[in-house]
Structure 1
Amino acid sequence: MPGSPQAQHGTARSRAAASGPSGPLPREAGTVIVGGGLAGVELATALAEQGAEDVVLLEAGPGGDLAHIHLAHPQAAATEIVFAPERDPYFHRPWRSGAPPHYTGISGLRRRLGGRSLYWHGVVLPLEDWALHPPGWPAEIVAELTTGVGGAPSWYDRVTEQLTDWSGGGLWDPAQPARTSIGGQEFRALPRACRRRPGTDRWEAYTALDAWRGPDGDVTPPAGVRVHCDTEVLAVDVRGGRARGVLVRLGDGDVSRIAAHTVVLSAGTVESTRLAALALTDAGALPSPRLGGLADHIVQGFVVRLPADRLPPPGSYHLPTDPVLRSYLRVDVHDDGPGRALLDVRVTGEQLPNEGSVVECEPSDEPFPRASVRTGLLPEDHKMISGQRDLLRDFWAATARELGEPSAPLEFTGYGDTERDNTRVLPDRTRSQSAGRPETWSSLLGTEDHEGGSLPLGRLLDTRHAFTALPGLHAAGPAVFPRLGAANPSLTTIALSRRLAGLLPGA
């Protein structure tokens, strides 16, 4: 990751966004943003930059710890926080799984101001043409994302330029080659919006919270934005066929109401969908609180310990996506001690949205019912899973031949096997592996935390991110993606959040 001498590093402190609400909870606001993760903070920041004066950002978790986990912890400890969430005090799963083991285990939210922007690895790949192609995505949004409209640069270009500057002038570590060959394939450096703490092996990925940080390291929301943490949104307040605000529960258990002209859901896909389904049901637009189309990334891979001198330098590399397989291949090389390296290979693909994958609120005596998640795979998804495994087997066979290693076969179990999920990459597991013998894994659905499709643009939402059946309610984040594609959704999430800021009333 590139260094940035001007960067302000260290554990951020927060005055206005401390672990409790910042001042009395307001009775009303112009715009309420539900969720202080990547999309919510990005949207609030962009609104402030455009002069919005009455934005309230609500986050269910605390706001006192704003450091990226790879800046606050060594590599092994940070990995454990991600893949062993019982070690993370911010982990929370507010839904029930109706299709275990999917949407269980490490599937959940990281409830803290900054959310997953404080956990991600900074990967900034745009969605692929085959995924963005209409009719999946509205043509208007595709044009704004990819080519620009009316002489304006595309949102992808604008955001990539800003992230490159933030990263210190490049989107990968200058010690890592831009291209490298392994397994008979030429890989490109994986673009990542990251920067190192000078003189250490610690690093951080981009978060819009960095724009709130002053020279002393304190984090203060920009003018026009009020942040209230430890404030859980229970429901959208719907009256007269319109969203009128939100009902919230504070840290002390009190329930209160905030009136608002505009409500934006950015609380993570499952929670945003739960809130939307309840609101649409209250408005008479749905017969019951149930929405389909939920989809996650399907990710499989293997890890193997090998001699370091036969591998590319440590870093992250990728191959362009195969549109037939709807997947891309990524290789990470990690230092594994003197003369050794850990080769971490994964293939990331797109689960197709389907109406059998749903977020719903089952009948309950609870005034604010939790969500239940059910998910399933289409025949096309099963075909992709098989194709991904063939790709991994072929790549490992070619790599083993190239390195002069015995080609121990890759052995996969049934998709959804909890004994072979992506916790296989935990350091205490990889350290116990025999050198040269690969261990395979497959992620469970929901564990990549990139779910989308349940609040799709162009169908449930118009091109302004507004619910066509419920004025006053909008949504942001990967939930609105009609298709996920294979790429990490963060670049698109940032771009669409900034685009949305210019479309909201009062912006």
Structure 2
Amino acid sequence: MINQLVEANQQVRLQGTTFSIDVLGRYVCSTWDEATANGGVAFDAVVIGAGMYGAYCAEKIYRLGPNLRVLVLDAGSLLVTEHVQNLSRIGLNAAAPVSVIQNVDDPGTRELVWGTPWRSMVAFPGLAYCPGGRSLYWGGWSPRLTDADLANWPQPVATQLQSPTHSGDAYERVEKETGVFDKTDYISGPLFDALKKKFMSAAAGVATVDGIEDAPLAVQAAPPASGLFSFDKWSSMPILTDAVREAAGRPDWQRRLFIVPKAHVTKLQTAGGAVTAIDVRVNGQLKSIGIPPTCVVVLASGTIEATRLALESFPTPLMGRNLMAHLRSNTVVRIHRSVIDPALPERLEAAALLVRGSTPKGRYHLQVTAAAVAGGSEDDMFRMIPDIDLLDQTLAAQQEDWIVITLRGIAEMNGDRSANANKQTGRSPSWVDLSDQTDEFGMRRAWVNLATNQDDNGLWDIMDKAALDLANAVANNDPAKIKVVGQARDGLGTTHHEAGTLWMGANPNDSVTNLDGRFHHISNAYVAGPALFPTLGSANPSLTATALARRTAEAIVRESLGAEPGFSPLGTGGIAGWKTAGSGGFVELGGNIIESFGGIGLLWFTERQFKNFVLRVDWRASAVDDNSGIFIRFPDPGTDWTIPVAQGYEIQIDNTGKNPDTNPPTFGDPLHNTGAVYGLAASTSAPTAGQWHTYEIEANGSTITVWLDGQQVSQLQNANRSPQGFIGLQNHHAGSRVQFTRLRIKQLP
């Protein structure tokens, strides 16, 4: 035992403990004040929970929205930034399930970071309270939902997830990200080849088995390209950590991604159908952050906790219904080497397969893990067995000349979506609701009722029988060649596969969220994770939920650009796809806002030229004498900022109406005033500085018309310069700060 460290009122760059320097914590995490009181623009997204799906979704919003600010709030402390199986074997283990019916039953924190925030008659391992969450411990199995599973999902989502050829779809994209694709770069070799051949032959004798597949494991054993390291076992923390370190290269006021640990979100405040504030306990202290309606909130703290937060904040009758988990069994056998392949090499080797099965009562699959050890190190075995919780039983079962095979069966449960179904503890259907037990902050905990029905139990029996029948068939049905070590069922709460309680659908009357994961009745609140599943299937939920988290991130980024019907965003909200000419430039502030500095110079959109169009631009000048403009229809300027001035058209931003062509310069010139087509068509508008305004610029043939905040302010007829060209923004002089956002365009015939 060592002494507890107490914070002193002394500022340091890195905190030291008795044994270490907290480099990881300091480099990855930020304090509440660093993230929320830095003078930057409002956040565009707040992600609650940095587990498998929250961390992934946050990273994707950051990457796909190059000018969006993202805040990640996680209730735990930083532990590690890799899957624990990618590290030395230092004793980081998942917690065993415990039954916590009332607060007095709660054993508190287990295995350093594991806790059980909800209450139930069913035993659960709980949650890993740390960024990365349970993705730091998971087994890595990542099968797809089958076509039959997806037939019960909304068609647009099913089509995006899985194409008819099972390639080039959303599943494949995530499989490549997580290391599932290529399936044989991690599991291969003589044992794998022999076992697959044997299982495919044996499957014909088991009526409910549909097919044998390579094991879909999220482990990238081979480097993705020459000169790169392999990514090993996937978790969400490496990608989030990389994004955070990239974002940290900017000052905090301009930084686009923060993780605040020890930040427990207790409630979301709403008004007018939108989240307006987030109540948070940071290190136990009550904090609150107000958010505009344009900022989205993503509930990603796991199925049960996300449902609790939704029920506490903006409940509906359907929330918490449709709870599903998986029925799981473990069948462990020893099969003599001779029936697999007498020529198998006597060295440490592992193999894995996926067996798909179906019955009228539902679908199941078997995760087959095999290991042959005639003498090898336990450390090597630890790294080769895909599931941590199978390690000890596999090692204990090893015997020379025998191959240990574990058939982990996973079968689906069907949820009940009826808002009127009776809620009876200990009986089907399953559901989540708020309990009478409160947490340390006085908030109601979730109560989880998870129970099987007759069909569930029947499917479970069929799956267990299929596992034994298949194992016997692999052993040629020779009792002398197979020894059943054991067959046992796991508790309903042990799988970490809770799902369905905030399911998606097109109709608000029979679903909780829409097809992008947004609550039907809350305009800026989304969900990331298996809570969105309409049905569960037998597949482990990780691959599907990760693909849905990407879909949600893409929707958030798309909506942030704010293009009206008929219009398309000009760019991606930042300066990607744009080039500068001259001096000064533009800086990204977040919120898809860019701001001019220095000058004189030009920022121009390089991806295409435009001829006839309507361009809408929101802009804000910080002071009356700020100067900028929007250039249209100019040729490629290269590095010469004067080309748009001479050969294109500038819609001016300058409330002083400064005419630089007189000596001395004069002011109040309508041809040089805000709204004017610079030097060609006059305007006398004087929009208020410090407020947002909208230009609508129509260029149609030889006529250019300008509207400011819905009112026409100028028109140029018989325009005789270039009839088409690029679009650009001007930065005029040092001290002038003009902001732009929501550039959108509609092309005309």
Instruction: Report the TM-score range of the alignment, normalised by the length of the smaller protein.
Output: 0.7 to 0.9
After TM superposition, give the deviation of residue 278 of structure 1 in Å.
Answer: 1.5
Structure 2 residue corresponding to 1:387, chosen from 457, 462, 478:
462
Structure 2 residue corresponding to 1:295, chosen from 290, 300, 324:
324
Higher mean alpha-carbon deviation, 217-226 vs 114-123, is at 217-226
Q: What CA deviation, in whole Å up to 9, does each residue of 1:206-249 have, x standing for no partner?
A: 134323556xx996667622111111111112234321232111
Q: Which residue of 1 aligns with 2:50?
A: 36
How far, CA to CA, are the matches of 1:91 and 1:207 in structure 2?
Answer: 17
**Larger relative contact order, structure 1 or 2 (CA cutoff 8 Å, min sep 6):** 1
Structure 1 residue corresponding to 2:235, chosen from 207, 221, 227:
207
Structure 1 residue corresponding to 2:28, chosen from 17, 25, 28:
17
Aligned AA for 2:451?
G
Q: Which residue of 2 aligns with 1:193?
A: 218
Report whether the alignment pairs 1:440 with 2:515.
no
- Distance change >3 Å, CA 255–CA 23, structure 1 → 2: closer
Report whether the alignment pairs 1:89 with 2:100.
no
Aligned AA for 2:367?
R
Map 1:117-132 → 2, pairs under 5 A: 117-132=135-150
How far, CA to CA, are the matches of 1:145 and 1:393 in structure 2?
Answer: 33
Q: CA RMSD in A?
A: 3.3
Q: Which residue of 2 aligns with 1:351?
A: 413
Q: Which residue of 1 aligns with 2:517?
A: 465
Contact between 2:324 and 2:500, CA under 8 Å: does it hold in 1? Answer: yes
Q: TM-score, normalised by structure 1?
A: 0.78
Identity level (%): 23
Paired residue secondary structure (1:62): coil
Report whether the alignment pairs 1:258 with 2:289.
yes
Q: Which residue of 2 aligns with 1:65?
A: 80
- Distance change >3 Å, CA 440–CA 374, structure 1 → 2: same
Aligned AA for 2:219?
C
Q: Which residue of 1 aligns with 2:259?
A: 227
After TM superposition, give the deviation of residue 31 of structure 1 in Å.
Answer: 1.1
How far, CA to CA, are the matches of 2:416 and 2:214 in structure 1?
Answer: 33
Paired residue secondary structure (1:384): helix
Contact between 1:245 and 1:263, CA under 8 Å: does it hold in 2? Answer: no
The structure having more radius of gyration, on CA atoms, is 2
Paired residue secondary structure (1:474): strand
Map 1:104-253 → 2, pairs under 5 A: 104-106=123-125, 108-133=126-151, 136-147=152-163, 153-164=168-179, 170=184, 172-175=186-189, 177=192, 179-182=196-199, 184-185=202-203, 187-195=212-220, 204-212=232-240, 224-251=256-283, 253=284
Paired residue secondary structure (1:292): coil
Q: Which residue of 1 aligns with 2:729?
A: none
Paired residue secondary structure (1:177): helix
- Distance change >3 Å, CA 213–CA 460, structure 1 → 2: closer
Q: What CA deviation, in whole Å up to 9, does each residue of 1:429-450 have, x standing for no partner?
A: xxxxxxx342111121121111
After TM superposition, give the deviation of residue 205 of structure 1 in Å.
Answer: 1.8
Map 1:400-419 → 2, pairs under 5 A: 400-402=475-477, 405=480
Gaps of 5+ in 1: 1-10, 408-435
Aligned AA for 1:256?
K
After TM superposition, give the deviation of residue 471 of structure 1 in Å.
Answer: 2.2
Contact between 2:331 and 2:468, CA under 8 Å: does it hold in 1? Answer: no
After TM superposition, give the deviation of residue 389 of structure 1 in Å.
Answer: 2.2
After TM superposition, give the deviation of residue 290 of structure 1 in Å.
Answer: 6.0
Paired residue secondary structure (1:56): strand
- Distance change >3 Å, CA 91–CA 377, structure 1 → 2: same
Q: TM-score, normalised by structure 2?
A: 0.54
Q: Which residue of 1 aligns with 2:304?
A: 270
How far, CA to CA, are the matches of 2:95 and 2:338 in structure 1?
Answer: 29
- In the comparison of the two structures, how many residue pairs are matched? 444
After TM superposition, give the deviation of residue 311 of structure 1 in Å.
Answer: 4.7
- Distance change >3 Å, CA 49–CA 464, structure 1 → 2: same
How far, CA to CA, are the matches of 1:105 and 1:497 in structure 2?
Answer: 24
How far, CA to CA, are the matches of 1:506 and 1:38 in structure 2?
Answer: 24
Q: Which residue of 2 aligns with 1:427?
A: none
- Distance change >3 Å, CA 153–CA 318, structure 1 → 2: closer
Paired residue secondary structure (2:551): helix
- Distance change >3 Å, CA 365–CA 13, structure 1 → 2: closer
Contact between 1:121 and 1:194, CA under 8 Å: does it hold in 2? Answer: no
Aligned AA for 1:143?
T
Q: Which residue of 2 aligns with 1:422?
A: none
Structure 1 residue corresponding to 2:541, chosen from 489, 504, 507:
489
- Distance change >3 Å, CA 129–CA 197, structure 1 → 2: closer
Aligned AA for 2:197?
T
Gaps of 5+ in 2: 1-21, 99-108, 204-210, 224-229, 249-254, 342-348, 376-399, 418-428, 506-510, 562-749
How far, CA to CA, are the matches of 1:437 and 1:381 in structure 2?
Answer: 25
After TM superposition, give the deviation of residue 462 of structure 1 in Å.
Answer: 0.9
Map 1:318-337 → 2, pairs under 5 A: 318-322=354-358, 324=360, 325-336=362-373
- Distance change >3 Å, CA 323–CA 34, structure 1 → 2: farther
Q: Which residue of 2 aligns with 1:26?
A: 36
Structure 2 residue corresponding to 1:370, chosen from 432, 442, 445:
445
